[in-house]
Amino acid sequence: MQKHAHQTYSFGEFTLDITRGSLLRGSAEIKLRPKSFDVLKYLTENNGRLVGKDELIDFAWQGMAVTDDSLVQCLKEIRRALGDDTQQLIKTVPRRGYIFDKDVSDNDEAVYSEETSGVHLVIEEFEENVSSTVSRKSILEIVRQHKIATIASGIVLVAILVTVALAFRPILAWYFKPPSIAILPIVNATGDPKLDYISDGVTDNLITGLTQVNTSENTRLRVLAQFTMFGFKNKDVEPRNLGRELGVDSVLASKMFEERNLRTFKLELINVEDGSIIWSKQFAMERDKPFEISESLDQMTRETAAHLPLLLSEAELTNLTRRYTSNAEAYDLYLKGRSEYFKVLPSSLRQSIVYYQQAVDLDPNFALAYWAMALSYSVQAQIDERAGQDAIERSTDLLQHALRIDNNLAVAQNALKNKDGDTWQWDTVKREGRTHPSYGTYLLASGRGEEEIVDLKQRISNGPGNPVLNFRYCVALSWARHTDDALEQCKKTANIVPASNRAYLGPFSPWVHVTLSNVYVQKQMYQEALAEQKTAVELAENSKSMRAELASIYAISGQKDEAYKILDDLIGSESQSEYTPSINIAIVYCSLGDREKAFSWLERAFNEREDRLPNIRGRTECDWLHDDPRFWKLYDRMGLPH
């Protein structure tokens, strides 16, 4: 038996038990990860002294190559454990390190230990000694029995943990959150707005590149989507504050500027917790050598990833930065296509497809361009500019072709997964639950809008400035008939990001205005609904789907002559081989009270796999059809509960 020191550090109401590796508040233990415990231990041992970041990392990670953000994550956990949100205990000294600013008492107690064949018993010294009648042989027998019981218990415990982990995998995945990053749109500081497509395209490629660390089974890095981030284009935002609004750990802020014959990108990776710059670098290239953009982009993606709290192998880093095309002209056409795509207008989506086709004509192995073209076809269906079945077939073929070229292209894998919702594979969606991108659509289509509302409300609390989540929340409230809340939320969404681009769901987005008009219809405020819908028609380039929505409001408000004028024009254009969205025509006939024609067009929408058909139960205009067995039979055929 050997005598050891039982070492503890005390500060305020906390005790750091060095011997047992635990943190206590009074008698209650507070859980810390091992690395976080090591960091806190070192800070308390050096209290009152400035401890540099490198010094802390060297102690806690023992020479392993990690980034500063790994240390920051530990400090975040420690501060939560200590309730030190205001940094009264652990003070950050920008760009230098940290100070543990609290008196610490070092306490030692005598402890006896008995070591035998891998089992270590620690027994606190009591005022009364253990009875001398207990022999060493008896103690060893107890130890041996204890060891056998420990092994048996361990096997049972592992089995239980595996079962629980499988059962609660979605919850565990949410609890152990991966690191997250928001990539702000690169500021075009050249003074030439015609070069926006380059700064926007490089931003898009950075987002796409970083998502390559993820697989369909494992999200290692949460990268906010470009639809979310581009709402902040040309806006004077403070990166750290925006990062807090979006609920991310880090923000990448960048500028593109030109001087003489050089085009330069300056990147800064910012820690949202303390506002410090994790990493900063400039990448310069000659303007008359466009192929250098893709080379520099490889470096940008690789170095950004290297400064995030990720452990990536060399092969994984190579996967992040592999060249999708060596043809500079094809890459330039791809950037132009992406710029058009994000305008989300009928004309811009058509133009984006033209650019992508030109790109793959120049380089038939340009996998990323096939993926991007597939997205444009899919969005055409979502805004009722193309029949759903046609869009599904075209986009699926393109995605499969992209994956034949590059079977590791994560964005194409994810896009193909989205097809489960488009093709009504609801069993797959249900099985994967919240981890599936179409699960929210499934909940609304199944009449479970309240569940979607609760989930979106929670997600918005973590990222209140996210325009996409706010728009989805507005739609969910509308479909669940929370009309007052929906009206307030839709107005809020329109003003979160006052960007001029339609994709960003601001005041110039037709999709916000059409949702607002639907809410006004629910509230029977028809003049307000007409005003919103006329704005939507104008912003959406007089599209057929938006004019059909206008006809529906005319009909339900009693202005049937105006409704029939638009309806006749829409049906007449169909006879000229122009696509007319069947679901919109069906809604107009619902508003006109024509049951048979409404069902006739709903049947056509079913045959065309119309994107919005599963949510027809959410349209006020068609409520009166719910007493007809044909309505719910339609839901049976779509594989949806009712």
* Architecture of the CATH domain 2-107: Orthogonal Bundle (1.10)
Q: Average the pLDDT over each of 60-74, 342-356, 611-625 and give the range with the smallest value.
A: 60-74
- Please give the residue that has the higher pLDDT: either 166 or 375: 375
Q: 556 pLDDT exceeds 70?
A: yes
In the chain, domain spans: 2-107, 116-168, 169-313, 324-423, 440-637
In this prediction, residue 478 carries a pLDDT of 94
Please report which confidence band the pLDDT of residue 57 belongs to, taking 50, 70 and 90 as the band edges.
Answer: confident
Amino acid type, 474: C
Q: Average the pLDDT over each of 122-126, 157-161, 569-573, 602-606 and give the range with the smallest value.
A: 122-126
Q: 6 pLDDT exceeds 90?
A: no
Residue keyed to tokens 């444009």: 376
Bridge partners, residue 15, by sequence: 10, 24
Q: 504 pLDDT exceeds 90?
A: no
- Please give the residue that has the higher pLDDT: either 119 or 141: 141
Q: 115 pLDDT exceeds 80?
A: no
> Which of 43, 3, 5, 4 minimizes the C-alpha distance to 23?
43
Please report which confidence band the pLDDT of residue 631 belongs to, taking 50, 70 and 90 as the band edges.
Answer: very high
Q: 565 pLDDT exceeds 70?
A: yes
109-123, 288-302, 328-342 — which one is most confidently predicted on average?
A: 328-342
Q: 487 pLDDT exceeds 70?
A: yes
243-257, 331-345, 356-370, 497-511 — which one is most confidently predicted on average?
A: 356-370
The secondary structure of 360-379, three-state, reads HHHCCCCHHHHHHHHHHHHH
Average pLDDT, stretch 109-124?
A: 32
Q: 156 pLDDT exceeds 70?
A: no
Q: 70 pLDDT exceeds 60?
A: yes
In this prediction, residue 152 carries a pLDDT of 52
The secondary structure of 390-449, three-state, reads HHHHHHHHHHHHHHHHCCCCHHHHHHHHHHHHHCCCHHHHHHHHHHCCCHHHHHHHCCCH
Q: Do domains 2-107 and 324-423 have the same CATH topology?
A: no
Q: 375 pLDDT exceeds 50?
A: yes
In this prediction, residue 520 carries a pLDDT of 96
Percent of the chain whose predicted confidence (pLDDT) is above 90: 40
Per-state percent for the chain, helix, strand, coil, to nearest 5: 60, 15, 30
Percent of the chain whose predicted confidence (pLDDT) is above 70: 82
Q: What is the distance between the alpha carbons of residues 302 and 210, in angstroms, rounded to a whole number?
A: 8
Structure-block tokens of residue 437: 């991108």
Q: 137 pLDDT exceeds 50?
A: no
Task: Return the ∠ at Cα 30 (arms to 29 and 31), rounded to 5°.
Answer: 115
Q: 164 pLDDT exceeds 70?
A: no
435 Cβ contact list (under 8 Å, min separation 6): 170, 173
Q: 574 pLDDT exceeds 70?
A: no
- Please give the residue that has the higher pLDDT: either 154 or 268: 268
Average pLDDT, stretch 58-84?
A: 79
Q: What is the pLDDT of residues 421-445, one digit of tens each?
A: 989 999 999 998 988 889 999 999 9
CA 284 to chain CA centroid, nearest Å = 31
Q: Which CATH class is domain 169-313?
A: alpha beta
Mean pLDDT computed over every residue of the chain: 82
Average pLDDT, stretch 164-190?
A: 67
> Which of 554, 538, 562, 559 minimizes the C-alpha distance to 587?
554
Q: 416 pLDDT exceeds 80?
A: yes
Q: 119 pLDDT exceeds 50?
A: no
Please report which confidence band the pLDDT of residue 589 belongs to, taking 50, 70 and 90 as the band edges.
Answer: very high
4 Cβ contact list (under 8 Å, min separation 6): 19, 110, 111, 112, 113
Q: What is the distance between the alpha carbons of residues 302 and 296, in angstroms, rounded to a whole number?
A: 10
Q: What is the distance between the alpha carbons of residues 38 and 40, in angstroms, rounded to a whole number?
A: 6
In this prediction, residue 256 carries a pLDDT of 94
Q: 133 pLDDT exceeds 60?
A: no
Taken as a whole, the chain contains a residue count of: 642
In this prediction, residue 2 carries a pLDDT of 44
Q: 234 pLDDT exceeds 80?
A: no
CATH tag for 440-637 (out of 1.25.40.10, 1.10.30.50, 3.40.250.10, 1.10.1670.10):
1.25.40.10
101-110, 188-197, 299-308, 347-356 — which one is most confidently predicted on average?
A: 347-356
Residue keyed to tokens 């900063």: 280
100-104, 117-121, 148-152, 552-556 — which one is most confidently predicted on average?
A: 552-556
Check: CB of residue 319 under 8 Å from CB of residue 302.
no
Q: 587 pLDDT exceeds 90?
A: yes
Structure-block tokens of residue 216: 């369909």
156 Cβ contact list (under 8 Å, min separation 6): none
Average pLDDT, stretch 361-376?
A: 95
Q: What is the pLDDT of residues 273-285, one digit of tens each?
A: 989 999 999 998 8
| Buried residues in 592-630 as b, exposed as e (16+ CB within 10 A) | beeeebbbebbebbbebbbbbbbbbbbbbbbeebeeeee
Q: What is the distance between the alpha carbons of residues 145 and 150, in angstroms, rounded to a whole number?
A: 8
In this prediction, residue 65 carries a pLDDT of 61
pTM of the model: 0.64
In this prediction, residue 230 carries a pLDDT of 75
18-32, 65-79, 205-219 — which one is most confidently predicted on average?
A: 18-32
In this prediction, residue 503 carries a pLDDT of 60
Please report which confidence band the pLDDT of residue 537 belongs to, taking 50, 70 and 90 as the band edges.
Answer: very high
Q: 601 pLDDT exceeds 90?
A: yes
CATH of domain 324-423: 1.25.40.10
In this prediction, residue 518 carries a pLDDT of 95
In this prediction, residue 322 carries a pLDDT of 65
Q: 552 pLDDT exceeds 80?
A: yes
In this prediction, residue 168 carries a pLDDT of 44
In this prediction, residue 169 carries a pLDDT of 41
Q: 258 pLDDT exceeds 70?
A: yes
